[in-house]
Amino acid sequence: MAQLPVVEHPDGRLREAAETVTEFDANLASFIDDMIETMRAQQVIGLSAQQVGDRRNVCVIDPEGDGSSVEVFVNPVILASWRTAIVEESCLSIPDLEGNVFRATRLRARAQDAAGNTFTRDLNDMAAVTLQHEVDHLAGKLFIDRLNPIRRLAIGLRTRAKRKQAGSERQEPA
Ligand code: NI
């Protein structure tokens, strides 16, 4: 197992949609192990493949945050969701930023495990919120896209300042 380097906003790789996993082999199993190790080492409760620079449609969650609730979702799809709430979120790929977003606190998801077996799973509260955050990542979306427009504008200005500081003129895909 190995820890993987984390990709940070505004890196364009965070804006690419994931590709469906079709090969359920040893390489995938080892990648998932590395994702879990990285999530644990970074002390976060969820991680998507995009955040470690990989295009595979895979995320891992650990809503308890202590390694006791680790679940793997390959090619996840949210089938239904209920009970919207305002939740304060942050993201490993967007350091030092928090914001309130609307999320369902109950959902039904379908996905595959590391061996390719399809399963359906009902998730509540933090597990449901975390999976939505990760499924967003897999579609190239970030939680800042869900903030209100004034908050987004402030973050946009901050991001441009950061980019200028880094001397980069690279444009971020919308
Ligand atoms: Ni995130």
Work out the mean pLDDT of the chain and round it to a whole number: 92
**Reported confidence tier of residue 168, pLDDT bands at 50, 70, 90:** low
List the shell of residues around ion ligand 1, using CB closer than 5 Å: 91
Q: How far apart are CA 16 and CA 145, in angstroms?
A: 14
**Reported confidence tier of residue 162, pLDDT bands at 50, 70, 90:** confident
Tell me how far the alpha carbon of residue 16 lies from the centroid of ligand 1, in angstroms: 14
Catalytic residue numbers, as ranges: 134
Tell me how far the alpha carbon of residue 5 lies from the centroid of ligand 1, in angstroms: 14
Q: Is 55 in a helix, a strand, or coil?
A: coil
Domains along the sequence of the chain with CATH: 12-168 (3.90.45.10)
Tell me how far the alpha carbon of residue 52 lies from the centroid of ligand 1, in angstroms: 11
pLDDT at 167: 65
In tens, the pLDDT along 109-158 reads 999 999 999 999 999 999 999 999 999 999 999 999 999 888 788 777 77
Mean pLDDT of 30-51: 98
pLDDT at 154: 78
Q: Give the distance, in angstroms, between the CA of residue 2 and the centroid of all CA atoms in the same chain.
A: 19
Percent of the chain with pLDDT over 90: 82
Structure tokens at 72: 């793997």
Structure tokens at 41: 């080492």
Residue 169: burial class (beta carbons within 10 Å; 0-12, 13-18, 19+): exposed
pLDDT at 166: 73
In tens, the pLDDT along 10-26 reads 999 999 999 999 999 99
φ, ψ of residue 13 in degrees (nearest 5): -65, -25
Query: Which residues face 21 on adjacent strands?
Result: none
Q: Which of 87, 74, 82, 28 is nearest to 48 (CA)?
A: 74
Tell me how far the alpha carbon of residue 129 lies from the centroid of ligand 1, in angstroms: 11
Does the pLDDT of residue 173 top 50, yes or no? no
In tens, the pLDDT along 67-77 reads 999 999 999 99
Tell me how far the alpha carbon of residue 91 lies from the centroid of ligand 1, in angstroms: 4
> Quick count: other Cβ atoms within 10 Å of Cβ 82?
11
Tell me how far the alpha carbon of residue 135 lies from the centroid of ligand 1, in angstroms: 10
